Structure 1
Amino acid sequence: MRALIHDFETAGGRARECGVVQLAVMGGAVGDDGAFDIRWQSCANYHPGGPIDPITTQVHGLHDEDVAHCPDYRRAVPEVYREAARQGFDALVIGFSNTSFDNVIARRLGYRPKRSLDLFLPAYRLKKRDGLESASLGNTYRELTGQEPVNAHDALFDARMTAALIPPLMARFGFTDFSTFLDWATTGQPVPGIRLRFGPARGQTIESLDDDALTRALNGWRGGNIDVHASLEAEYARRGLAARPEQGQLF
């Protein structure tokens, strides 16, 4: 299956408005065993259109002077995605936490993948099931490959770590076929102990919510982590709460 792996480093701030200082894109084919065969890649630094937040510099190491003479990301990045599409790597986009970050930035710049796989979701499921210390990209890479993420937050190294995680994540969950893993990883699964990341109850586990807060969270879900939605639905059903009206009946 042809696919694209991407990773952004930014000037800081929210994905809906941040400037881009680095983008790595790898186009290739994912084998049945999950191995990613790189056939094309692009990695470059860009001018973010404004200053880089010093706190963000501490993460990726890029300073204003490092990107002062780089092309403006708003003009240059869309061409990278256009080239990826011309080469046929737009059927599936893979990333780590890309649902809430990289994909959001890419959409701002005109990229519309047909399907998306966020490897944070199976990593988080593994954390909750097996007690991993963290479901971050670096820690998951360390735990599953035995190698240190020595260049973490360099966009190309992060993209390569993402690619390297596909086979061991498949193996830990007993998958031997990538297509089956893809279907599982892109379908919401109830996860015990998952916490809300939105709304007044942010930070609380779904199981700890009272009935009113649970109902508000479920009705207020507007997209994002599919496991959060599946967990809200499962808890609502477990409690036997009244059926919610169809969206069209709310108005």
Structure 2
Amino acid sequence: MAASRIRVIDLETTGPRPPAHGVCEIGWQDVVQGADGRWIVNEERGQRLVHPGRPIPPVTMAIHHIIDADVADAPLWPQVAPSILRPEGGLLALAAHHAAFEQRFCTPALTGGAPWICTWKCALRLWPGSPSFSNQVLRYWRMPAGLDRALGLPAHRAMPDAYVTAHHLRDMLNQASVAQLLAWSAEPGLLPRVPAGAHRGRHWPELDLDALHRLAADRDEDVCFTARTELRRRGESGSVEPPPPPQGSLF
């Protein structure tokens, strides 16, 4: 089983940064490889409420609609996580959409050092024509075969979101190897279009060298990585610092 199962994880939390924030729900959905070599979404799925160890702020209640009363009697994260993140039989990898978020809470100590596939980063590579790369936009842009609409709702709850992500992962695994998805996931995101600023929405080959060099020094690691990748594609150095701005007049 370990060689043919990947578990998709989704978390609902009190906020984005542990230890200041805690997990209040975990959902999972397995994707397995069949005898014919094709990957499928199977029936192994579930969710558990978790006591986050602190009150849930109203701003996050408004996203997932989990309130303090829902988790008052739930177990703490260290009690819940190990059996889900390290199930009997083992896993080839864990996966999540924007996996960096889940990895903040699902630490190597809890996962046993399992590798992660980020379906957001892989979607950028495999489906660059999508109008956006959120889990739900990909769901409705792609309309994955076999996705039960009711099981995928409500959005922003752990199991439905993991279930939707698993359908993206299944299709990715049937297009590219596990090794390739892991390699893409280990790098910053390769953005199909400029996400913000004066060139927002433009494709990278449309930009001139000056714009690319400036974006190659951007603080956003995905923007920086993509700009440097485009510079290397053109035979330019991806590490060249942007030219200094012109000196203004003193008068």
Normalising by structure 2, we get a TM-score of 0.70
1:110 match: secondary structure = helix
Q: Which runs of 4+ in 1 moved over 6 A?
A: 203-206
Q: As a proportion of its length, which structure holds more helix?
A: 1
- Quick check: 1:46–1:70 contact (8 Å CA) kept in 2? yes
Structure 1 or 2, whichever has the larger Rg, is: 2
1:7 match: secondary structure = strand
User: Counterpart of 1:240 in structure 2: which amino acid?
Assistant: E
The superposition leaves residues 174-230 of structure 1 with CA deviations (integer Å, 9 ceiling, x where unpaired) of x2x64476367447575442448xxxx9x8987587576445448x95xxx5xx564
- Quick check: 1:77–1:109 contact (8 Å CA) kept in 2? no
2:75 is the alignment partner of 1:71: yes
- Quick check: 1:93–1:117 contact (8 Å CA) kept in 2? yes
The superposition leaves residues 35-86 of structure 1 with CA deviations (integer Å, 9 ceiling, x where unpaired) of 13344x442101111111111111111011111121122x3134324642x4
Normalising by structure 1, we get a TM-score of 0.70
* Residue 96 (structure 1) aligns with: 97
The one of 52, 59, 68 aligned to 1:48: 52
Query: Structure 2: which 5+ runs fail to align?
Result: 241-251
Distance across 2 between alignment mates of 1:83 and 1:186? 20
Structural mapping, 1:8-157, within 5 Å: 8-14=11-17, 17-27=20-30, 29-31=32-34, 32-39=37-44, 41-73=45-77, 75-81=78-84, 83-84=86-87, 86-89=88-91, 91-98=92-99, 100-107=100-107, 110-125=110-125, 129-130=128-129, 132-145=130-143, 148=149, 149-157=152-160
Distance across 2 between alignment mates of 1:16 and 1:108? 15
User: Counterpart of 2:236 in structure 1: which amino acid?
Assistant: G
Distance across 2 between alignment mates of 1:229 and 1:243? 10
- Quick check: 1:145–1:168 contact (8 Å CA) kept in 2? no
Question: Judging changes above 3 Å, is the alpha-carbon distance between structure 1 residues 68 and 109 closer, same or farther for their aligned structure 2 residues?
Answer: farther
- Quick check: 1:121–1:185 contact (8 Å CA) kept in 2? yes
Distance across 1 between alignment mates of 2:103 and 2:131? 26
Question: Judging changes above 3 Å, is the alpha-carbon distance between structure 1 residues 190 and 62 closer, same or farther for their aligned structure 2 residues?
Answer: closer
2:106 match: secondary structure = helix
- Quick check: 2:218–2:224 contact (8 Å CA) kept in 1? no
| Aligned CA-pair RMSD | 3.7
Identical positions, percent = 20
The superposition leaves residues 153-176 of structure 1 with CA deviations (integer Å, 9 ceiling, x where unpaired) of 1211111111122344467xxx2x
User: Counterpart of 1:88 in structure 2: which amino acid?
Assistant: G
2:181 is the alignment partner of 1:182: yes
